[in-house]
Structure formats: structure tokens, C-alpha cells
């Protein structure tokens, strides 16, 4: 069993930033995580992180990781499956490890709901994107596809039309809301399903199955990018008896990144940051800012004794 003053769960932008802040303030901190970088490594190009005109997600994360390593923060690779309170300490249990800390920052993020077709992983960041808000500006005057259920697609189609030369909207069911199509080069496919992905270095085309008047059709469509708008999974079921979650499984926090017990009292010593929380605007700069805030508050808590 390892002991550290502060244990951070997750090494995405929020967790890495939290570690940098805590370590620089002289705190004995360790990270336990499934991977380094989280969703950010899926980003083809990041053009909204100050200080970099354009940088790939992998490169930005390798810089954050280098900073954390340089400070000597230990990183334990494991999936956390439970946290329990033991007096004024917390026992963080992974599949293989057990750590005890005086305070915990949960920065376990979220992950996109994938298509589940062959070669999907290969094209992530190379023509497949799970973040339209982040990556749409990279496809100005290009031909893009969007796939997902009506509720998650419609708000984005008009935005995509303003940027892309042509939009192929693959609805997983029927179109359920009104779409503003004026001046929009768009084709709508209902009951759409991606069957195959094609390309060499990047995604070049998709084979789509869809329905016209109840008859199934299969077509191959050339695309510069396919945006998968199927929502995200916040995997926090292991936390549900420990801290308060909202109806989407997001961790409810206050402005100091403090969490709450399921009964609604402040959970002293347990903080959360980034995409796993109920804070809006899921972006790297926001996750880093929240990670910094959680860390400053955790350090204040630890120093109070
Ligand atoms: C395709 C794509 C492109 C994007 N492009 C941009 C962009 O251009 N600009 C921008 O600002 N944002 C972008 N984003 C959003 C950005 O990546 C996220 O907002 C950011 O990564 C959130 O950081 P986070 O640390 O909160 O969570 P995450 O990045 O999700 O990291 C969570 C971490 O927690 C770990 N973890 C999860 N569960 C456990 C567990 N049980 N035990 C241990 N470890 C666990 C994961 O392994 C991971 O390391 C993009 C997202 C995607 C998917």
C-alpha cells in the first residue's frame, strides 16, 4: 500500500495540471491513471490553446507530461475501481494497486461513444473526429459527414453548414427536429449506419447504409472528415455511493472544485476537475483551469491540517 498526501485520478489535461500545481507547492502527490492524455490525444490539431498557433493533441500532452515527469510526480498506470473513506484518509483502489491519501482529486474525464466499426481507431485524428466544436474549423470549405441521433445532430448541422462546403448528415434514426437548410449544401440520410471506412493515411470515404421510403440502400461517400456526434460516456458508476453525481453521471462540484456526499454535504478532502464534472464547456483550457483550481483548493485543505 502506497501513501501520498494527494492522489490524482486521471492524467488528462485536468489531472496533469493539478499535479504540476500541487508538486510545485511542495505536496507529495501521485497520479493513478488508465493512460496519459485522455481525450486530448484524439485531437488532430488544437488551435484554441493559448501559446500554440496549432499543435496536435499528442504533442501538447507530451509537453504537459514532460513537465509532470520533470517535477518527479509518480504515475501509476491502473484503473481506479473504488474510493473509500477511512477516518480522515481515503483509500483509492485500482485493479492492481491500493493507495492511501489525505486528499483526492478526481479528474477521470469522459470518453466519446464510438462507431464500433473496423479501422475506426486508425482514423481517429486522421479524418474521424468526436468533437465537432473543436475540429470543425479545421474543415473549412471541405466535405464533412456527421453521424448521430437527431437530438445531438440538429444543433450542429447549421454550424457545420456555415463552415464546410458540403455536409452529409447521417441520422441514426429519423430527423426529429426542424433543420435550417437555407443556403446549406447538405444531404440528409435517415436510419443511417456507417458500415465501412476507407483510406490510406487518412479517412477518404465511408460506406453508409440508409433507408429511403423503407428500402435499405448502401452508398460510398467521399469525405474529408466524419464527425461522430453520438455523445459521451462519463464512467463514474464506481463513485455513485461516494459522491454526488448529476443525472448524466457527472460529478457535481462547487466553484472551489469541492465535491459533495450523496446526501449533499461538502465531502472534505475530495475534489474534482475537468470533463467528468458538471462544469460546462468541455475544452482543454477549461479542464486545465479547473485542474489548477482543484489543486490550489486541495493544497489549502492539506495545509490547514
Ligand atoms: C476528438 C477530440 C478533439 C478535441 N479537440 C479539442 C480542441 O481542439 N481544443 C480543446 O480545447 N479541446 C478539445 N477536445 C476536448 C478536450 O480533449 C477535453 O475537454 C479534455 O481532454 C478534458 O480533459 P480531462 O482531463 O478533464 O479529461 P480526459 O481528457 O477525458 O482525461 C481523463 C483521464 O482520466 C483517466 N481515467 C478515466 N477513468 C479512470 C479511472 N477509473 N481510473 C484511472 N484513470 C481514469 C483517463 O485514462 C484519462 O487519462 C477534444 C476532444 C476530442 C474527443
Could you please state the CATH topology (level 3) that the domain comprising 2-110+234-304 is classified under: FAD/NAD(P)-binding domain (3.50.50)
Q: Report which protein residue has its CA nearest ligand 1's atom 30.
A: 109
Question: Which among 18, 284, 285 is the best mutation to test ligand 1's pocket, defined by most ligand atoms within 8 Å of the CB?
Answer: 284
What is the pLDDT confidence band of residue 299, given thresholds at 50, 70 and 90?
A: very high
Task: Give residue 272 CA to ligand 1 midpoint distance, Å.
Answer: 14
- Answer yes or no: are the C-beta atoms of 251 and 106 closer than 8 Å: yes
39 three-class SS:
helix
Question: Which among 15, 50, 108, 237 is the best mutation to test ligand 1's pocket, defined by most ligand atoms within 8 Å of the CB?
Answer: 108
What is the pLDDT confidence band of residue 177, given thresholds at 50, 70 and 90?
A: confident
5 three-class SS:
strand
Per-residue pLDDT, 305: 72
Q: Domain locations in the chain? A: 2-110+234-304, 120-228
* Tens-digit pLDDT profile for residues 3-13: 999 999 999 99
Percentage above 70 pLDDT, the chain: 100
* pTM across the whole model: 0.86
Per-residue pLDDT, 180: 76
Cell numbers 486522421: residue: 126
Average pLDDT for the chain? 94
Same fold, 2-110+234-304 and 120-228: yes
Per-residue pLDDT, 264: 95
188 three-class SS:
strand
What are the residues facing 84 on neighbouring strands?
91
Closest atom of ligand 1 to CA, residue 125: 1
Given a cut of 90, is residue 179 above it in pLDDT? no
Per-residue pLDDT, 258: 98
Given a cut of 80, is residue 58 above it in pLDDT? yes
- Which three three-digit cell numbers place residue 138? 479545421
* Tens-digit pLDDT profile for residues 203-220: 999 999 999 988 999 999
Closest atom of ligand 1 to CA, residue 130: 1
What is the pLDDT confidence band of residue 183, given thresholds at 50, 70 and 90?
A: confident
* Tens-digit pLDDT profile for residues 85-114: 999 999 999 999 999 999 999 999 999 999
Q: Report which protein residue has its CA nearest ligand 1's atom 8.
A: 46
* CA–CA separation, 189 and 167 (whole Å): 11
Task: Give residue 292 CA to ligand 1 midpoint distance, Å.
Answer: 15
- Which three three-digit cell numbers place residue 241? 455511493
What is the pLDDT confidence band of residue 225, given thresholds at 50, 70 and 90?
A: very high
What is the pLDDT confidence band of residue 251, given thresholds at 50, 70 and 90?
A: very high
What is the pLDDT confidence band of residue 147, given thresholds at 50, 70 and 90?
A: very high
Per-residue pLDDT, 206: 97
Q: Report which protein residue has its CA nearest ligand 1's atom 43.
A: 33
Please state, as a whole number, how many other Cβ atoms lie within 10 Å of the Cβ of residue 113. 15
Rg, the chain, Cα only: 21
- Looking at residue 274, the DSSP 8-state letter turns out to be G
Given a cut of 80, is residue 46 above it in pLDDT? yes
The CATH class, in words, for 120-228 is alpha beta
Amino acid at each position: 500500500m502506497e501513501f501520498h498526501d494527494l492522489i490524482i485520478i486521471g492524467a488528462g489535461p485536468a489531472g496533469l495540471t493539478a499535479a504540476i500545481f500541487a508538486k510545485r507547492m511542495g505536496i507529495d502527490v501521485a497520479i493513478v491513471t488508465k493512460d496519459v492524455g485522455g481525450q486530448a490525444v484524439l485531437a488532430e490539431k488544437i488551435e484554441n490553446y493559448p501559446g500554440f498557433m496549432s499543435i496536435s493533441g499528442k504533442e501538447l500532452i507530451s509537453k504537459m507530461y514532460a513537465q509532470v515527469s520533470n517535477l518527479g510526480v509518480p504515475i501509476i498506470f491502473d484503473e481506479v475501481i473504488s474510493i473509500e473513506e477511512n477516518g480522515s484518509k481515503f483509500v483509492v483502489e485500482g485493479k492492481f494497486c491500493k493507495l492511501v491519501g489525505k486528499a483526492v482529486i478526481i479528474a477521470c474525464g469522459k470518453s466519446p461513444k464510438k462507431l464500433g466499426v473496423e479501422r475506426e481507431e486508425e482514423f481517429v485524428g486522421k479524418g474521424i473526429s468526436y468533437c465537432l466544436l473543436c475540429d470543425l474549423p479545421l474543415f473549412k470549405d471541405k466535405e464533412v459527414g456527421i453521424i448521430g441521433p437527431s437530438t445531438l445532430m440538429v444543433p450542429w448541422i447549421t454550424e457545420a453548414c456555415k463552415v464546410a462546403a458540403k455536409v452529409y448528415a447521417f441520422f441514426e434514426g429519423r430527423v426529429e427536429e426542424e433543420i435550417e437548410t437555407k443556403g446549406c449544401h447538405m444531404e440528409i440520410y435517415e436510419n443511417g449506419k456507417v458500415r465501412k471506412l476507407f483510406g490510406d493515411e487518412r479517412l477518404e470515404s465511408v460506406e453508409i447504409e440508409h433507408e429511403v421510403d423503407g428500402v435499405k440502400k448502401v452508398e460510398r461517400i467521399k469525405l474529408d472528415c466524419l464527425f461522430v456526434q453520438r455523445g459521451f460516456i462519463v464512467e463514474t458508476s464506481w463513485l455513485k455511493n461516494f459522491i454526488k453525481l448529476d443525472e448524466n453521471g457527472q460529478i457535481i462540484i462547487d466553484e472551489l472544485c469541492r465535491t459533495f456526499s450523496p446526501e449533499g454535504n461538502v465531502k472534505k478532502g475530495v475534489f474534482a476537475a475537468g470533463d467528468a464534472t458538471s462544469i460546462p464547456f468541455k475544452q482543454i483550457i477549461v479542464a486545465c483551469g479547473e485542474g489548477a483550481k482543484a489543486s490550489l483548493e486541495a493544497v489549502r485543505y492539506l495545509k490547514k491540517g
